[in-house]
């Protein structure tokens, strides 16, 4: 074994990301990741480990068009806290490029990818009335990202917690300048909106039924990322004129999709986001659902872009390489 002589990789913290990384950069990275999938330039793998008192998930990817590979690791253990990090490597040399704290990356890539989808699926519309279901941090980042790609004429929001609704409205106003009308009624929030952004953590409870969204042209749902989680009634997917997915893993990992498939949903018409970006936009009157659960290449592309930006802009911290180079004796 010999010590690595690789250049020092960068460590980028969540505080660094909050200060230096814009939603515009994240949206650019999300579009790049989606198109790379459509071009066949992405290989991914997921692994999950469950143990008493916790779990660990590893989401790995290689993006040949960008010359990088890496993985996001996140886990929950005895202290009941979840920790995340993305490790980025150069494909040609194998050297580590950086380690990026992923708590902020996860919210950014989810919102940015949804913004890419919504912008495309709205056709040529430049302004929309937005309904938001869920008022947590994922919903806030989602509204911020949407405000970068479309003009939000009106925003309404609902969730189970009156306190969270008011805090969400204050945060959206502080971050974007938009006023949010909050309500405890899903029906009031969704009446006559053009888009509904659904970002909930409801566990196994369905949040929106087909009847709730029957008159909404575009539903963007980012929750229900595991089989045991729910957000949309399966009929929302089954009865849509068009379904766009961030990854085909949705069909096996989202409780919403699993229910829809069990009820007879024909998934052959579901389209990946990157493919949809190269296809005609939906016709007027089509009911469209964008469903995401997150995918490893989204994390990797954004993390690689952040490392590149950090190196150019001078933020983050250089650290010693964490691995030695193996020698065959």
State how many domains the chain has: 2
* pLDDT, tens only, 96-152: 999 999 999 999 999 999 999 999 999 877 789 999 999 999 999 999 999 999 999
Mean pLDDT of 78-84: 92
Q: How far is CA 112 from CA 95, 118, 289, in A?
A: 28, 10, 16
Look up the domain containing 60 and give its range.
10-105+296-318
Taking the model in full, what pTM does it have?
0.94
Same domain (yes/no): 83, 163: no
* pLDDT, tens only, 193-236: 999 999 998 778 999 999 999 999 999 999 889 899 999 999 99
Query: The domain spanning residue 63 has which CATH number?
Result: 3.30.1780.10
H or E element at residue 226: none
State residue 3's pLDDT score.
46
Q: How far is CA 311 from the centre of its chain?
A: 25
State residue 4's pLDDT score.
53
Contact 138, 221 (CB under 8 A): no
Same domain (yes/no): 136, 273: yes
Same domain (yes/no): 147, 24: no
Distance, in Å, from the CA atom of 133 to the CA atom of 135, rounded to the nearest integer, reads 7
Same domain (yes/no): 39, 85: yes
As a three-state string, the secondary structure of 284-300 is: CCCCEEEECCCCHHHHH
Same domain (yes/no): 55, 184: no
Percent of the chain whose predicted confidence (pLDDT) is above 70: 98
3-state secondary structure of 142: helix
Instruction: Give the Cβ contact number of residue 262 at 10 Å.
Output: 9
């Amino acid at each position: 074994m010999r010590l690595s002589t690789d250049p020092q990789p960068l460590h980028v913290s969540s505080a660094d990301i909050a200060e230096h990384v814009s939603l515009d950069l994240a949206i650019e990275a999300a579009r790049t990741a989606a198109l790379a999938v459509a071009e066949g330039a992405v290989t991914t793998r997921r692994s999950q480990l469950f143990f008493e008192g916790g779990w660990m998930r590893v989401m790995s990817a290689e993006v040949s068009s960008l010359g990088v590979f890496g993985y996001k690791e996140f886990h929950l253990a005895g202290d009941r806290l979840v920790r995340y990090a993305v490790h980025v490597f150069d494909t040609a040399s194998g050297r580590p490029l950086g380690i990026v704290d992923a708590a902020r990356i996860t919210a950014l890539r989810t919102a940015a990818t949804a913004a890419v989808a919504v912008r495309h699926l709205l056709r040529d519309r430049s302004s929309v009335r937005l309904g938001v279901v869920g008022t947590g941090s994922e919903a806030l980042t989602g509204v911020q990202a949407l405000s970068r790609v479309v003009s939000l004429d009106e925003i309404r929001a609902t969730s189970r917690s009156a306190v969270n609704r008011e805090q969400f409205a204050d945060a959206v106003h502080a971050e974007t300048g938009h006023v949010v009308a909050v309500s405890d009624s899903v029906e009031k929030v969704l009446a006559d909106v053009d888009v509904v952004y659904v970002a909930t953590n409801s566990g196994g409870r369905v949040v929106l039924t087909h009847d709730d969204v029957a008159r909404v042209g575009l539903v963007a749902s980012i929750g229900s990322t595991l089989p045991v989680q729910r957000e949309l009634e399966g009929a929302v997917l089954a009865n849509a004129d068009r379904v766009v997915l961030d990854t085909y893993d949705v069909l096996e990992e989202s409780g919403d999709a699993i229910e829809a498939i069990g009820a007879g949903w024909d998934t052959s018409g579901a389209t990946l986001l990157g493919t949809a970006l190269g296809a005609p936009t939906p016709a007027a009157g089509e009911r469209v659902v964008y469903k995401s659960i997150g995918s490893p290449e989204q994390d990797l592309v954004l993390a690689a872009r952040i490392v590149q930006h950090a190196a150019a802009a001078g933020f983050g911290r250089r650290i010693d390489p964490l691995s030695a180079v193996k020698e065959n004796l």
